[in-house]
């Protein structure tokens, strides 16, 4: 069984490769997470109801250094009979305290934004998503996850063009 210290070392190694890797090397890390997802709906006018808080387990987050992206939070709307594809959320910064990602999109007149981080020391993953509906209502979803590595860290060679 992997300890928190082992997970911290794996995440720290991942961050180190991200910061100092050459074009010839990249890496990916799959994380298995547990925690909570809290959703709040804020009507344009009216009373704000209590947020919905759900416990999650076996939640998957992937940090893909080859693609400079984090996966596990947004999904593309599938066409009939297809599985939803995960959306790449661009890594905007990586340093000793974490890997950070931010994205914005508009789907069917709904404005969406998300930002979050992966802590290489503790394994904490957090994200906040906001959806603005045409009615003016806002939905906020917050992920508070505690993660461990699914597989040992490994560097993956990339193609040189």
User: Which CATH number covers residue 73?
Assistant: 2.40.160
For the residues 16-24, what does the mean pLDDT come to?
41
DSSP 90-133: EEEEEETTEEEEEEEEEETTEEEEEEEEE-TTT-EEEEEEEEE-
Q: Which residues contact 112 (CB under 8 A, 6 or more apart)?
A: 74, 104, 105, 106, 129, 130, 131, 132
State the average pLDDT for the chain: 78
Residue 129 belongs to some domain of the structure = yes
| Range in 11-25, 65-79, 147-161 the model is least confident about | 11-25
Residue 61 belongs to some domain of the structure = yes
H or E element that contains 139: strand 138-149
Residue 98 belongs to some domain of the structure = yes
Measured from the Cβ of residue 161, the count of other Cβ atoms closer than 10 Å reads 4
Residue range(s) defining the domain that contains residue 22: 4-77+87-153
Residue 133 belongs to some domain of the structure = yes
| pLDDT score, position 77 | 66
Residue 158 belongs to some domain of the structure = no
Phi-psi region of 160 (alpha: psi -120 to 50; beta: other; left: phi over 0): beta
Residue 161 belongs to some domain of the structure = no
Residue 143 belongs to some domain of the structure = yes
pLDDT in tens, 23-61: 434 577 889 999 999 999 988 887 888 899 999 998 999
| Counted domains in the chain | 1
3-state secondary structure of 63: strand
Best CA proximity match to 75, nearest among 33, 102, 107, 28: 107
Where would I find the H helices in 2-118? 4-20
HSE at residue 51, side-chain half, CA atoms within 13 A, is 13
pLDDT in tens, 56-76: 998 999 998 888 999 988 877
Residue 25 belongs to some domain of the structure = yes
């Amino acid at each position: 069984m992997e300890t928190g210290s082992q997970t911290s070392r794996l995440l720290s190694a991942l961050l180190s490769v991200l910061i100092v890797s050459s074009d010839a090397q990249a890496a990916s890390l799959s994380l298995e997470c547990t925690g909570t997802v809290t959703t709040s709906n804020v009507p344009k006018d009216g009373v704000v109801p209590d947020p919905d808080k759900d416990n999650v387990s076996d939640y998957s987050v992937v940090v893909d250094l080859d693609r400079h992206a984090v996966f596990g939070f947004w999904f593309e709307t599938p066409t009939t009979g297809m599985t939803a594809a995960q959306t790449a959320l661009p890594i905007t910064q990586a340093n000793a305290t974490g890997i950070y990602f931010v994205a914005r999109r508009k789907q069917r007149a709904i404005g969406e934004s998300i930002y979050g981080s992966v802590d290489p020391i503790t394994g904490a993953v957090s994200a906040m998503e906001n959806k603005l509906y045409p009615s003016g209502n806002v939905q906020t979803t917050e992920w508070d996850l505690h993660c461990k590595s699914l597989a040992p860290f490994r560097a993956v060679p990339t193609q040189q063009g």
